[in-house]
Structure 1
């Protein structure tokens, strides 16, 4: 089937960093949109925005503040042609799940859909997989991975972004502690703390994949629905890229959790062992497809009030 053509490409707003080339994109939130665009094969333009410039830019386009969490966040897409009667201001859409639904609606015939049929089941799958992945890395879900990841973020951001990130995150910390100091004194404690949540996700991934293949939602493959990519797979890959932003050694250590070749000193008695973790299988599949390295055409939109 043919794909729709628009007068302008979808424009992705992402968060600036000092990382080189395609690795500049590090945020698991913006990566959900970027990787979906890549997986769908949608041509797009892109713009990196420093942390202190996000709120002024979004507000200039009439984007309302978030009801919870930080007031203005990315990802966002700018595409007046399809957002005119969809969002406040008619030009910019935020929040990765809303963007995913919008992209599925615009491009219903691409091989990859964030929420493939049957949609009620793929949307339920997304909620389950999101919860389990957040339980690895986000404190709101009791995830401990943030203690490994958060201290790395100020080190990779542009200078203005780094100062802003440290100041605003310290302000919300119970002890007003800089995110540079959110890790444990011994990082091994933090690696041990995430193991149970990683194992819970791996087992969920395996059982979900087996059930999906048996039920006919997908055929044999590495994803949650076998050969069929879903939003949950995209989020897993996004989190893996976040680990990579802290260094290849962080990514490789995460990928090895639960595997036969993982160093014995890291394992605990009674843990299940896999020849290759399903998590690594998803990472390798995204790499083979070229979705991890694809980028948009550089472009900069002015302030909406300009």
Structure 2
């Protein structure tokens, strides 16, 4: 049984991380058996080193950064981090399950992922403080140290600035909506009629925001944007939302 490593929180079901959600969606879609092991932020590096999952990035000071999601597959002995790399591994190792990166789409999917990461610059000032609030104390301390710009406030904007930046966030989502609208004639998913990893990459961020703000009103606003697109997007994929403990 594959082990999926995730970061716990006080949210219902504990799962919140948008990047780990990409892999959870992927595992559920492929119908693979797995279990979740919950790892607090300060323990991620030691856990990845223990299972043999390589670092995924470098910090500003040049030291390696270990991140989740990571998986360990005891059937092959492989441990791997980064949701896109995990998707490639799952397709290669379990070819008889639904493909996350259909043949001929790998380069396009990676290009889309790179653009998508830059498409929502107004998001972080709202989402990071809300995320910190649901983390357990050991992870909260790590988050405050590594996730926030030292010169930026660790609280979301308020007053007029909040209204301006929230409007900017809606514009950012509008850009993404425009990309998706261009392919709607071919089917309801990013690549047309078939689900791909790109759908789970987008859904991972949207479900994160639903988890953060479902009880506070911001989600009601987001789900109304662009003709209800984002709520509909999640509903198309909700059969793959199961949180396996």
Give the alignment's TM-score, normalised by structure 2: 0.87
2:87 to 71, 81, 100: 100
Q: Give 1 or 2 for the bigger CA radius of gyration.
A: 1
- The residue aligned with 1:223 is 189
Question: Equivalents in 2 of 1:198, 1:146: separation in Å?
Answer: 13
Question: Equivalents in 2 of 1:147, 1:17: separation in Å?
Answer: 20
In the TM superposition, residue 128 of structure 1 has moved relative to its aligned partner by 4.1
In the TM superposition, residue 255 of structure 1 has moved relative to its aligned partner by 2.5
**Mapped pair 1:133 → 2:116:** yes
- Runs of 4+ aligned structure 1 residues displaced above 4 Å come to none
- The residue aligned with 1:273 is none
Equivalent residues of 1:76, 1:95 under 8 A apart: yes
Q: Any gaps of 5 or more consecutive residues in structure 2?
A: none
- The residue aligned with 2:218 is 250
- The residue aligned with 1:14 is 6
Aligned length: 237
- The residue aligned with 1:38 is 28
Once superposed, what is the RMSD of the aligned Cα atoms? 2.0
Equivalent residues of 1:136, 1:145 under 8 A apart: no
In the TM superposition, residue 11 of structure 1 has moved relative to its aligned partner by 0.7
RCO comparison, higher one (Cα < 8 Å, 6+): 2
1:192 to 167, 171, 185: 167
1:89-238 residue pairs with structure 2 within 5 A? 91-110=78-97, 112-116=98-102, 119-120=103-104, 122-137=105-120, 143-170=121-148, 173-175=149-151, 177=152, 180-181=154-155, 183-186=156-159, 187-210=162-185, 213=186, 220=187, 222-238=188-204
Question: Equivalents in 1 of 2:181, 2:174: separation in Å?
Answer: 11
